[in-house]
Structure 1
């Protein structure tokens, strides 16, 4: 058992309802802030964003980054694209800088600028990343504490899982789905908590723990995420589409519709 400073255990934090309440409150504030941002992007396409996401995911895997680095970097990118126009030839630079910031937030040992330069084949240079780092920090008003779906995973799993062995397997599957969802910019219209409960439901389907229509589970999850069953079903449909699109390119994931 991990013990936090002051004698508080990680298990105690998971079961403290105030933690989940605070995450949801932070999520609501984050949504309100995002509604005030609407910068049109004339030079970037969904395909470009997808290619950038897969490149960042590869770098994170090769560098053995903590699981929170990739979704946080993608959230930073999404925020930046809503704040200022990014030319097509600057997308990789934006990705490098956001990945650097995310690794500083989540990794015990952050990625180096030289490492990121190398992964671009020197098409993005160290001095460019150094120049963009303070620029992005200023644009984001130094607010890097962004809520992502992974932040909710352990707290919500703790309320629906029966055994520790099953919890570990479900967490692995749900975490994998959340990572794939982070790569799809179409899903950023949904709240992180909503995406999390749908991915948990998907993982439970995988293990045969629930069967359609699973109304009781959706009622439980909608209560956890302070949302509605209709919103869960709408998010579920979008996530199924995202996972299916991913399966067309990488056949590692099967049985995607639930």
Structure 2
């Protein structure tokens, strides 16, 4: 049995001195036969069954979710959060929105609170409340985030362990013979998964199916010989359904990577602060993102 530690204990370049050590994949865990069963059970338990834009939310529109999730992704990337923080935060936000209607002015507050909870749950050094408020141009106040943290926990029934598509990537790649043929398959699959979590079209798609589709699309783009049927056999899903989602992932990627004409920024979702003399830099809007 290999008990060696492969973690890099060096502080990452450009960091502020805090430990940015991230553990690598645990191959023994990824190949454990109980892992997929537990993940699929979690997926079924926390599944979204209805489109909350049609049945719950009145003031919030799908494009607003796109803007705020893109902002969440950029914050997580800039703060070098662990890979699981972003999809978990989006999952928390979606499950809250499926239960309670809020105004568009509260959407970024909910997103910041979800990132706070996800970072506490998934990484050693959580994002601070003050930092998250700074990323909102101080339109969200620290006391609001702390109040909404308890509200979000209550709505989630304190069940923070939610299976995301990121959780399925490593187990899937460890169980197919071509999964380790090219290390870029994992990297590209995770990137595609992040894009899917910003798109409303994938709101009701199970995380395991998103993972299968993103791995398939990544392998296809890298010319890695792989079979979608092998991945579908792991989750007992239809190969036709997986291929349909994979094609949609490819269309979304093509849409996001095509050149875009400069356009005026949309009106902000939150109120603007009155003092603009010392505003921190914030992530760009979704309209300005070029993959």
**TM-score of Structure 1 vs Structure 2, range by shorter chain:** 0.7 to 0.9
CA deviations on 1:33-86 (whole Å, 9 max, x unpaired) are x33895521101111111101111111111110011111111111111101001
Determine which of 183, 201, 211 is the counterpart of 2:198: 183
Rounded to whole Å, the distance in 2 between the matches of 1:59 and 1:192 is 22
Q: With a CA cutoff of 8 Å and minimum separation of 6, indicate the structure with the bigger relative contact order.
A: 2
Residues 148-163 of structure 1: pairs in structure 2 closer than 5 A: 148-162=164-178
CA deviations on 1:199-231 (whole Å, 9 max, x unpaired) are 111111122123xxx7xx122111112200121
Partner of 2:263: none
Partner of 2:9: none
Residues 13-32 of structure 1: pairs in structure 2 closer than 5 A: 13-31=29-47
- How far the C-alpha of 1:242 sits from its partner, in A, is 2.5
Q: Is the 8 A contact 2:193 2:214 kept in 1?
A: yes
Matched, 1:122 2:138: yes
Unaligned runs of 5+ in 2: 6-24, 261-288
TM-score (norm 2): 0.77
Matched position secondary structure for 2:228: helix
Residues 94/163 of structure 1: CA separation in 2 closer, same or farther (3 Å cut): closer
Matched, 1:197 2:207: no
The two structures, once aligned, show a CA RMSD in angstroms of 2.1
Rounded to whole Å, the distance in 1 between the matches of 2:72 and 2:44 is 27
Q: Is the 8 A contact 1:68 1:106 kept in 2?
A: yes
Determine which of 3, 26, 35 is the counterpart of 2:49: 35
Residues 90-169 of structure 1: pairs in structure 2 closer than 5 A: 90-162=106-178, 164=180, 166-169=181-184
Residues 188/161 of structure 1: CA separation in 2 closer, same or farther (3 Å cut): farther
Rounded to whole Å, the distance in 1 between the matches of 2:179 and 2:194 is 24
How many residues in Structure 1 have an aligned counterpart in Structure 2?
240
Partner of 1:88: 104
Unaligned runs of 5+ in 1: 253-258
- How far the C-alpha of 1:119 sits from its partner, in A, is 0.7
TM-score (norm 1): 0.86
Residues 30/203 of structure 1: CA separation in 2 closer, same or farther (3 Å cut): same
Query: Higher helix proportion, which one?
Result: 1
